[in-house]
Structure 1
Amino acid sequence: MGDSSLSDLKPEYRVDGSCWKFVPVISEGFFNQRPGDIFRHHLILLQLQLAVIFTLAAIIHFFLGRFYLPRLISEVLAGVILGPTVLGRFFPDISAVLFSEQSVKVLATLTRFGYLFFMFLIGVKMDVNLIKKSGKREWTIGTMVMLFPLLVTVMVGRHISIVVDKVDAQSAQYEVSFFTGVLMLTSFPVVAILLMQLKIINSELGHLTLSSALISDMVSLVMVNIGNYRVIMLLASLRVALKSLFLVAVLIVFILTVLQQMLYWIIRKTPEGKPVKDAYIFFVVIALLVVAIVGENVGLQYMYGPFILGLTVPTGHPLASTLIEKLDTIVSGWMLPLMSTYCGYRSNLWNLNRLPPYWIMFAVTFGFFLKVACGFIPAFCFKVPCKDATALALMLAAKGIVELGTFATNAEKQSTVTQEFTWAVIIVFIFAALVPILTRKLYDPSKTYAGYQKRTVLNSSINEGVRMLACAHRQDDALSAIKLLQLSNPSTESPLSVYGLYLEELVGGASPLLLNHQLGQRSSSDGGRWQPIIDIFNYFKSQSSKPTQVHVYTAISPSSLMHEDVCWVAFDNLVALIILPFHRKWNRKGKLISDSKDLRDFNTKVMNKAPCSVAILIDRDRGRNSSIIDDSSTYNICVVFLGGKDDREALSIARRMKGWPSVFLTVIRLKETEDMITGWEGMMDDECLRDIKHPSNENGNVLYKEEIVRHGADTSALIGSILDENFDLICVGRHSQCDSPLIEGLSAWTDLPELGTVGDLLVSAEISKPISILVVQQQVIEK
């Protein structure tokens, strides 16, 4: 074996160092082997180990995942089962073959590479601008949750180990300090993964926790390296420590100047919209390996060099997104799970034949409560609600893959005994399991908007006006929304406040961003993608009267959590109506050109969680997207009114439009019989229709009609006849909970439940006319 040391070879192969035992890595074939010989090939054995590890971890997670436990728990348990705790004790022969000494060294090497690439990707995903945007609250929480627990727990734990546990001074100085120090760290990657798992990374609490964790991680990075140089000074001399510090500084300056400029050169050489060349990716990978080797040799731990290099990679497209796309799957899906399993494998529960040392019990109990208190107290002082402050403190005390990786990569350097390493794995295991459970109990994101006061167009005060949030994924979405907003007829008596929200998927980053462009907020990535959206809304403001206020935001977040940004902006700004773009797009000829499942899921999530009314705008009128409607345009609007709260909300929106000089409004009331509607629902419907039924001179551009239908088939035929008329926009309620006989039998044929029965009929694939549809859902109030 070329990677074996002399001490690993049998005596007959250690004569003078020139004779080596040759073991082929690849097998000559199963039928050319003697029984058992196939396991002496390292590649074959590695493949078998990986198959066993990932199969066992998947089986365990299949059961534990039902209890919302993270995958890390299943991976550690798989390692415990395959290690000396279970397999090595009860099936030693199988363990000796499957996990021989040399094969375990190969696994250990893979875990080191995995941790190295993981730290590099964490640096790539981090947005350092998050620190610049953090205020006094984030800095106070992030510093206190790191500084006081680390200093107090390390010093007191070291004293307890010497006085009570009778640990020698040198071991207390290094091993105890290392162990307690790692447990007191707040890791940004662990917190980010936890927030993603809990699906609250886009919430206000998520943003606060993420910013505090990033600040805490940066503070700990400085403190840990200061401690390392203190150790070098004690073990060697001040001269050696200063020399190491100088070389590390040179390496960091080289990364921040030469390598960073090369990264920018790669971006400039990559054409707009084109992927980064593989040769450039190979260069970055080689650079991070060289930086790791050099850093390890000059006194910087091998994972910090790649981490700093990752921080210098500009976030977003094209380089960061390409690196994450090519490396994240193999690192997160293969190398990191392997590290978790390896940590479980190295632990041995049978060695825990006595209680842990008192300094460990002190670090786990007092240290944990001190860390939670240092997170809770400043958060509570900054007026964070008690439950939210407790959840924040727990999440900042979470443990996970970073702590396991730190223990695993430093165990041999610190001469950590198996018992202490096993305790470390158990502690991380417990924290990783309990913190998500406790946080879910304290903070339920599904109830963020529950019981919120009525925010609908119907209930909006005329004097206060209406606040509307228009969401856009691309420019034509913004143009379509602007046409609808212009028709909303803002005036001095009834002003209009518009909030434009550009939604961009988070690629090449771990930190979601919500930028308020009125405050001048920007991201480190290129803003060219959202600038056209800002220009469209600003143009709308310039063309509107003074009562119209326009505010533009950009939300950069994972597609699965993008709806949280929409709901939060609506909640925070007291919005009455959210306008969403439809997930299907047509060209000028009426041909379907795109159908996005992700966008459809996004719309459904917003409708289920929104703190106000929601409308999906289906824009088939592609010919008018080039400009905003002018006064000379004639716009025919139709409201199909079946009754119910969704239809009343749709009618309320249309009633605001009838004041536009060139708008003609038609309201078609569907009834089963002449006296069908009675009771409170009928009174509400009559109230909404009163000024429509009996228009004044000011409302002469309104036509009210009643149609008698007996069942769903009649309704479907009537909808078809409406589509044959010359309407530009048809407004209809969703009828999500309606069991009216007017739509009886139609629900079984509904392909798009988020549009309701009538809305689904209006967007049928057979329709090619350029008619826009607005499907409205009134705010859902939880009882």
Structure 2
Amino acid sequence: MTTTNGLWQGDNPFDYSLPLFIFQLTLVVFATRFFVFILKPFRQPRVIAEIMGGLLLGPSVFGRNERFANAIFPLKSVMVMETMANMGLIYFLFLVGLEMDISIIKRAGKKTLSIAIAGMILPFLVGIGLSSLILVDDKSMSHPGYVLYLATVLSATAFPVLARMLVVLKLINTDLGKLALSTSLVNDVCTWMLLALAIALSEQNTSNWASIWVVLSNLAFVSFCLIVVRPAVTWLIKRTPEGKPFTEFQICIVLTGVMISAFITDVLGTHSVFGAFVYGLVIPNGPLGAAIIEKLEDFVSGLLLPLFYALIGLKTDISLISGASSWAFLFVVIPLSCVGKIVGTMLMTLVFQIPNRDGVVLGLLMNTKGLVEMIVLNVGREQKRYYEYEKSVLGNQIFSLMIIATLVMTAIISPIVSLIYKPRKRLAPYKRRTMQNTRLDSELRVLVCIHTPRNVPTMVNLLEATHPHKRSPICAYVLHLVELTGRASAMLIVHANRQSGGPALNKTQAQTDHIITAFQNFEEYI
């Protein structure tokens, strides 16, 4: 049964799927938030806290207690958890695709493409070479899907995690940050292609033609999304009058398309998240994407996505990492993979005459891992060998080893980059310039930052207190700070003056108009 008759009827709520799932979800969210709070001073990305929350509840820590494991995470509840986690994963990857700006790939020059490909090749080769160190039977060692899963994880870069890390490190608007974002985006797209290929090679249970048909059918799906879905969504957007919000029916159509896309790619032989990701990519940039993200992001990323990390933690058992060979693998794979990324990246940065320090930092940033790598490992663990159906392509030991390796590789990046790279010194050409040293008749330049229209009167009063006049004028640069919700990162923002009297497209633009009008009136007043 799903629901209990109540405690007073003598029922144990943990014997019923709904109350048990609610308790599991609450426990997972609390564990995740605990590590987010603990790791915040260390500038660690949120994905680290979510993985550690899953490890805490899994067999590595609390799950070692059989009473806890059988009561809170019994085997019968795994199906419900896995279904909800995958639903959250589907919609989260849809949001990731929605936030990505694929025009960056179109505009990507020779430098970006060369650095991205070179940064993938060396760690990819390292993954192929290190696969021989894993203690599995000889037959699986020759399996191409097995090797491809490991090599893909080591060569991948997590674009969403890197974008947020660059914000924390205050590198998002530097030349290095922009290059890192565009490079990681190209890398991320290549990772999805490799994942689709790995799944195809793992499922060839009938003939070699099966893999080819999986790849071709998914290419056809991507083409269909570009040729049919994107124009259809564009038509839907154009039907909405300028400045009007999207209707509930329009939003539901787009969200239903996520499930249809996920179903199609699952039927075609790849993972369902691939369809959701591609569907998000083809939706045009604009107010529709911002509206969907505003409605979904907090619920999906804050409530449903931690369930996926909890499942990763339940499948990870650190106690399996025992023996000299297992620890040797960890101590070899982490440095070699990191060095492979750095060397491959630096080779191209030298060609394009980028400073050595920037090349090293860029290589370090390219080692950022995240959700996509967890998906690759999870798919590899769930995938069955075509010649031995009862066994997974990735065993429990290698799965646990790779989870710990990706966790460590991501955790060390932020502290190292903060230590060796200080861009603020280069961006402070006026650090010794003071008001006392300026001439009396020189112009005083002031940067005014506004969050909401409520800040305008205070800032106007502050500027008025400077008593500007013609002999000692001021020049105020007004900056309206707005949290971006339509994309994962802002590469360049150009504010074009609209014709006066034109309607505002959204609430933010209306606020900007009020702020600009207020300062224009102040300019005329003084």
Does TM, normalized by the shorter one, top 0.5? yes
Indicate whether 1:136 and 2:101 are aligned. Answer: no
Indicate whether 1:442 and 2:412 are aligned. Answer: no
Match of 2:10 in 1: 33
Deviation of 1:413 after TM superposition, in Å, equals 0.6
Match of 1:213 in 2: 184
Indicate whether 1:339 and 2:316 are aligned. Answer: no
Q: 2:228 aligns with which of 258, 272, 290?
A: 258
Code of the residue aligned with 1:156 in structure 2: it is G
Partners of 2:48 and 2:260 in 1: CA distance: 33
Q: 1:321 aligns with which of 286, 290, 295?
A: 290
Match of 2:322 in 1: 353
Matched ranges for 1:444-523 at <5 A: 444-450=422-428, 452=430, 506-514=484-492
Matched ranges for 1:231-630 at <5 A: 236-317=206-287, 319-357=288-326, 362-414=332-384, 415=392, 416-450=394-428, 452=430, 506-514=484-492, 530-532=495-497, 620-621=521-522, 624=524
Partners of 2:111 and 2:74 in 1: CA distance: 52
Partners of 1:135 and 1:471 in 2: CA distance: 36
Partners of 1:261 and 1:183 in 2: CA distance: 36
Deviation of 1:137 after TM superposition, in Å, equals 2.4
Greater shift after overlay, 116-125 or 367-376?
A: 367-376
Code of the residue aligned with 1:95 in structure 2: it is A
CA contact (8 A) 2:200 2:210 kept: no
Match of 1:180 in 2: 151
Match of 2:129 in 1: 156
Give the gaps of 5 or more residues in structure 1. Answer: 1-23, 481-486, 490-496, 517-529, 537-558, 560-580, 589-617, 625-727, 730-783
Code of the residue aligned with 1:344 in structure 2: it is G
Report Cα offsets for 1:624-657 as digits up to 9, x if no partner: 5xxxxxxxxxxxxxxxxxxxxxxxxxxxxxxxxx
Relative distance call for 1:51 and 1:222 in structure 2 (3 A) is: closer
Report Cα offsets for 1:376-398 as digits up to 9, x if no partner: 33224434333332221111111
Deviation of 1:299 after TM superposition, in Å, equals 2.6
Q: 1:59 aligns with which of 30, 34, 37?
A: 34
Say how many residue pairs are matched. 493
Match of 1:92 in 2: 66
Provide the TM-score with structure 2 as the length reference.
0.81
The alignment's C-alpha RMSD in Å is 3.9
Partners of 1:263 and 1:583 in 2: CA distance: 29
CA contact (8 A) 2:448 2:476 kept: no
CA contact (8 A) 2:450 2:478 kept: no
Greater shift after overlay, 322-331 or 451-460?
A: 451-460
Relative distance call for 1:80 and 1:160 in structure 2 (3 A) is: closer
Relative distance call for 1:473 and 1:417 in structure 2 (3 A) is: same
Report Cα offsets for 1:451-477 as digits up to 9, x if no partner: 64766899899xxx9998988999x99
Q: 1:106 aligns with which of 75, 80, 83?
A: 80
State the secondary structure of the residue aligned to 1:201: coil
Code of the residue aligned with 2:171 in structure 1: it is I
Match of 1:757 in 2: none
State the secondary structure of the residue aligned to 2:300: helix
Relative distance call for 1:504 and 1:66 in structure 2 (3 A) is: closer
Relative distance call for 1:101 and 1:236 in structure 2 (3 A) is: same
Relative distance call for 1:356 and 1:342 in structure 2 (3 A) is: farther
Deviation of 1:277 after TM superposition, in Å, equals 1.4
Code of the residue aligned with 2:306 in structure 1: it is P
Deviation of 1:434 after TM superposition, in Å, equals 1.0
Relative distance call for 1:240 and 1:433 in structure 2 (3 A) is: closer
Code of the residue aligned with 1:426 in structure 2: it is I
Partners of 1:287 and 1:264 in 2: CA distance: 14
Code of the residue aligned with 1:306 in structure 2: it is A
Greater shift after overlay, 138-147 or 75-84?
A: 75-84
Indicate whether 1:83 and 2:48 are aligned. Answer: no
Deviation of 1:261 after TM superposition, in Å, equals 2.4
Indicate the structure with greater strand content: 1
Partners of 1:82 and 1:224 in 2: CA distance: 28
Q: 2:24 aligns with which of 49, 53, 56?
A: 49
Give the gaps of 5 or more residues in structure 2. Answer: 385-391, 461-468, 501-507
Match of 2:463 in 1: none
Provide the TM-score with structure 1 as the length reference.
0.56
Report Cα offsets for 1:292-314 as digits up to 9, x if no partner: 11111113332111111111111
Relative distance call for 1:33 and 1:284 in structure 2 (3 A) is: farther
Partners of 2:292 and 2:373 in 1: CA distance: 24
Percent identical residues: 26
State the secondary structure of the residue aligned to 2:286: coil
Deviation of 1:145 after TM superposition, in Å, equals 0.5
Deviation of 1:202 after TM superposition, in Å, equals 2.3
Deviation of 1:269 after TM superposition, in Å, equals 2.2
Partners of 1:420 and 1:381 in 2: CA distance: 37
Relative distance call for 1:159 and 1:88 in structure 2 (3 A) is: closer
Report Cα offsets for 1:220-271 as digits up to 9, x if no partner: 3344445555556x65435434433443233223222332222112212222
CA contact (8 A) 1:180 1:360 kept: no
Code of the residue aligned with 1:82 in structure 2: it is L
Deviation of 1:449 after TM superposition, in Å, equals 2.8
CA contact (8 A) 2:123 2:154 kept: no
Indicate whether 1:74 and 2:53 are aligned. Answer: no
Relative distance call for 1:407 and 1:165 in structure 2 (3 A) is: closer
Matched ranges for 1:186-205 at <5 A: 186-205=157-176
Relative distance call for 1:222 and 1:353 in structure 2 (3 A) is: closer
Indicate whether 1:125 and 2:103 are aligned. Answer: no
Relative distance call for 1:386 and 1:123 in structure 2 (3 A) is: same
Partners of 2:132 and 2:322 in 1: CA distance: 24
Report Cα offsets for 1:726-762 as digits up to 9, x if no partner: xx53xxxxxxxxxxxxxxxxxxxxxxxxxxxxxxxxx
Code of the residue aligned with 1:438 in structure 2: it is I
Relative distance call for 1:82 and 1:206 in structure 2 (3 A) is: same
Code of the residue aligned with 1:328 in structure 2: it is E
CA contact (8 A) 1:76 1:340 kept: yes
Partners of 2:263 and 2:436 in 1: CA distance: 66
Relative distance call for 1:180 and 1:244 in structure 2 (3 A) is: closer
Report Cα offsets for 1:559-616 as digits up to 9, x if no partner: 9xxxxxxxxxxxxxxxxxxxxx99996989xxxxxxxxxxxxxxxxxxxxxxxxxxxx
CA contact (8 A) 2:149 2:198 kept: no
Code of the residue aligned with 1:25 in structure 2: it is T
Partners of 2:201 and 2:137 in 1: CA distance: 24
Report Cα offsets for 1:94-139 as digits up to 9, x if no partner: 3211111111222222222222112111111111111233333222
State the secondary structure of the residue aligned to 2:242: coil
Partners of 2:418 and 2:19 in 1: CA distance: 43
Relative distance call for 1:95 and 1:221 in structure 2 (3 A) is: closer
